[in-house]
Amino acid sequence: MAEGEEAAARGAAVDRSERPSGIFWVLALAAVIILIAVGVSLLPYDWGKVASFGILAVFAIVGMIAMFAWAMGIAHFGQSSIARNDLTKLITDESPEGILVTNKDGRIIYANEAYLALTGAMGEQDIRTVERAFTGDPDVSEATYRLAQAARAGQRLAEEFRIASAPPAGTASWYRVRVRPIERPSGAGETVWTVADITRERERQENVFQELQHAIDYLDHAPAGFFSADPSGEIVYLNATLAGWLDYDLAQFGTGGLTLADIAPGNAGALVVTQASEPGSVRTEIFDIDLRRRNGTIMPVRLFHKIAFAADGQPGPSRTLVIYRGPGGDVSEGLRAAEVRFARFFNNSPLAIATIDENARIVRTNAAFMRLFKESLNGDAPGHSLLEAVVERDREGLSKLTRLAMAGRGDIEPAEASLAGQGSRSARFWFAPVDRGENEKEAAIVYMIDTTEQRTLQEQFTQSQKMNAVGQLAGGVAHDFNNVLGVIMLAADSLLGSHKPGDPAFQDIMAIKSNANRAANLVRQLLAFSRRQTLRPQVLNLNDAMSDLSMLLRRLLGEKVALEVVHGRDLWPVKVDVNQFEQVVMNLTVNARDAMPDGGKVIIRTRNVPISEASALDRSELPPADYVTVEVEDNGSGIPPAVLDKIFEPFFTTKDVGKGTGLGLSTVYGIVKQTGGSILVHSVEGKGTIFQIFLPRLVEPAKAASAEADTVPGQPGSAPAKSKEMPDLTGRGRILLVEDEEALRALSARTLAARGFEVIEAGSGIEALQIIDEGEGEIDLVVSDVVMPEMDGPTLLKEMRKRQSKTRIIFVSGYAEEAFAKNMPEGEEFAFLPKPFSMKQLVEAVKSNMKP
């Protein structure tokens, strides 16, 4: 049958939405009219005449209204309640897609001509629903089932499927079927089905895919390598040729994760990764570098690198052609083999190398240079001045060396400069002249190495040496001063015992004792700086300490300066000496007050600093660990950079004469370091200063607290034995007093003898051992200095124990107990009395450690 005959047989679109009115209503209307006529005929003539005219008038009015309604389209006659729109129906009838409308019972209401053609229906009697029209294939049945379920649920759905023998031609075809409900107030439940033949669309897609596959196949097996990388350096495409050269499996590469750093060793990757540039520009560069195979061997290549920049100047994915330059490779294009080798050495050198013109502008760079200066020059070195790579203060010195190189000088001394825009990073520069006959552009060669780490270590080493030297000096001076002060204080106590408050000399003796105590405080500050003072650490929550200290700090600050204390939540415990910690905070607060003579605000914060945050600070003096930090911030005048490196040195002060000893910050530094913490300073002139104290977190507070509670007086690390209040300071017993300072030994012996003790004096440890060996009576207690010539106190104790002596011992020293306790035998018991001491402290220590 011909195509025209088939179309004629099928006929036009099927529309069952129109239905004629029922005959019942026509008969009912006729019956009503007859009944009215009969009723009127039974009336009297006059009444019947009036009724007839009235009924005719009503019919006339109804008729006129119906005619107006029909003319305006408000009423329809001979149709169902579904309104008709001839234009819409014409568009639907002529649609190239098959359209089918069904009611809620699944009965077909409408089907256009395209639907009849797609389903092979020959007429209205042969029309079928989508479910019945596409059956037989299991895959198609599943799709039509899902569509039917969506139609029943009033949902939208689209499916695509292939039929091996589709009607009416019986050839393989692809169809796209959509289903959607008709939403209207009456809720009649109609559903629209749309069927489209997408066979040609699928064929076009398959053709495009095949062409793309062929293009990729050609690119993969091209005689040159090719890769593309995104701005972060991750490789997004790698052809098979380059993958084979590098010994990578393309299937494995498909999992991702390969970057430029994997295939470009050393600094070579810095050449390919490009920073932002001129918006909309395209850059093509040529590099001769080495790529790294998967087994670690290198492969010399030439890269033709192209990259386009977006409208905002950011680089897009690169497109890079790779030509193999190994033995037997192509070295044509005017490039000699020697030049290839030189380019490889140039780009793989660990030294940063650049050539500059007569205006110090960069002409050519290697990979190491790009890596070192990419932040200083925004990743785009050629065309920029070399002086732009260093900070302003170093440009003049570098400019002089540049002029010497331009003049042909060959004995130019190197110079060191800080890099611009890179914080504290620095580099050393060497300049060498170039024969201008070889290349008119290049006037000099510059070699550079990164000296940041070396410079930092050198500065830290120098500072450490200086601080250690000053600390040793301060500790030695403090030791000698303690002996002198001890004599003065004991002598003053002795004189006070023989002079009444009414004596003329009493006030002078009190002045001597008061100034001796002031001198002892200064000595303690020196010992704090040298980290040799005695600390009594205990487990502490810094929030509690700050709460107790805040009232005192407000009095120290006065009315002009406000204090704000910010407590960190869930603060970790630390182990510090409470008194020394309070001295640290008070010193910093007083310094903050003095930096704000016109008033201001001091903020003290406490918070936890986890190991991740401490590591991110990247400070060599702050090992990675968990810390609790105390910050003291002011908005004062700040500290000048030239002064900042000297603030922790003893006796250094910027205050006027008589207003400061210069020991405040050195004391703070020593206490923090002796506690095991660190202190950092951030200051900006005119804006203020922040001191940050980092104290190590106590990992086992419960255990530490228990250990502290269980310490026994006389053991290493324990607090000195606390004597109860004893008004009677007299006693009995034989005491061996070992002290190399004659005056202090004599006064101490006289003080103890006056209280009833028998005292035997020894000027050294060797002399003390001789007295013990002679055995002239039992010795109840040994009171010994720690630092003595010939034999120190700990060595004396070891020799005593070798002689089976169980005598108790009190060590006396101006240094911290921990300075010598670590040299004592494990488990050895001793007591400790710090210098300088008063007469009462000496007697109390002796009585509390004397055998009962």
pTM of the model: 0.37
Contact assessment for residue 108 and residue 101, using Cβ atoms and an 8 Å cutoff? yes
- Distance, in Å, from the CA atom of 72 to the CA atom of 146, rounded to the nearest integer, reads 44
CA 798, distance to chain mean position in Å, is 54
Give the pLDDT of residue 473: 60
- Distance, in Å, from the CA atom of 672 to the CA atom of 843, rounded to the nearest integer, reads 33
- Distance, in Å, from the CA atom of 414 to the CA atom of 401, rounded to the nearest integer, reads 8
Give the pLDDT of residue 612: 86
Burial 485-517 (b: 16+ CB within 10 A, else e): bbbbbbbbbbbbeebeeeeeeeeebeebbeebe
362, two tokens: 């960069």
Pick the CATH number of 733-849 from 3.40.50.2300, 3.90.550.10, 2.40.270.10, 3.30.930.10: 3.40.50.2300
615, two tokens: 């590591």
Q: Where are the domains of the chain?
A: 9-42+84-219, 222-325, 334-456, 532-696, 733-849
Give the pLDDT of residue 337: 58
CATH superfamily of 532-696: Histidine kinase-like ATPase, C-terminal domain (3.30.565.10)
| Helix or strand run (H / E) with residue 405 | helix 392-406
Tokens 């099928």 map to which residue? Answer: 10
Residues 6+ apart with CB under 8 A from 318: 228, 229, 230, 272, 274, 305, 306, 307
- Distance, in Å, from the CA atom of 669 to the CA atom of 749, rounded to the nearest integer, reads 37
Residues 6+ apart with CB under 8 A from 54: none
Burial 134-157 (b: 16+ CB within 10 A, else e): beebeebeebbeebbebbeeeeeb
Tens of pLDDT along 18-74?
554 456 666 777 787 788 777 777 777 777 777 777 777 877 887 777 777 766 656
- Distance, in Å, from the CA atom of 730 to the CA atom of 847, rounded to the nearest integer, reads 8
**Which CATH class name applies to 334-456?**
alpha beta
Tell the CATH topology of 222-325: Beta-Lactamase (3.30.450)
Tens of pLDDT along 240-289?
888 888 888 776 665 457 888 788 766 666 666 655 567 777 777 777 77
Exposure of 560 in the CB half-sphere (CA atoms within 13 A) = 13
Contact assessment for residue 11 and residue 93, using Cβ atoms and an 8 Å cutoff? no
Closest to 781 measured CA to CA, from 802, 809, 815 = 809
Give the pLDDT of residue 694: 92
Give the pLDDT of residue 628: 92
SS (HEC) of 664-696 = HHHHHHHHHHHCCCEEEEEEECCCEEEEEEEEE
625, two tokens: 């660990």
CA distances in angstroms from 146 to 104, 179, 723, 791, listed in the order given: 17, 10, 93, 100
Instruction: Give the burial class of 652: count Cβ atoms within 10 A of its Cβ; 0-12 exposed, 13-18 middle, 19 or more buried.
Output: middle
Kindly report the number of other CB atoms within 10 A of residue 166's CB atom. Answer: 22
CATH superfamily of 9-42+84-219: PAS domain (3.30.450.20)
Instruction: Give the burial class of 639: count Cβ atoms within 10 A of its Cβ; 0-12 exposed, 13-18 middle, 19 or more buried.
Output: buried
Tell me whether the CATH fold assigned to 532-696 matches the one assigned to 733-849: no
Pairing state between β 298-308 and 319-324: antiparallel
- Give every residue of the chain whose pLDDT is below 50, as ranges: 1-10, 20-21, 79-83, 255, 328-335, 439, 529-531, 656-662, 701-724, 726-727
Give the pLDDT of residue 460: 65
- What strands lie across the sheet with 808-813, from one edge to the other? 758-762, 734-738, 781-785, 808-813, 831-834
The sign of the CA dihedral 824, 828, 834, 835 is negative
SS (HEC) of 219-265 = HHCCCCEEEEECCCCEEEEECHHHHHHCCCCHHHHCCCCCEHHHHCC
Residues, the chain: 852
Give the pLDDT of residue 661: 45
194, two tokens: 């749309």
The sign of the CA dihedral 73, 75, 77, 82 is positive
DSSP code of residue 561: E
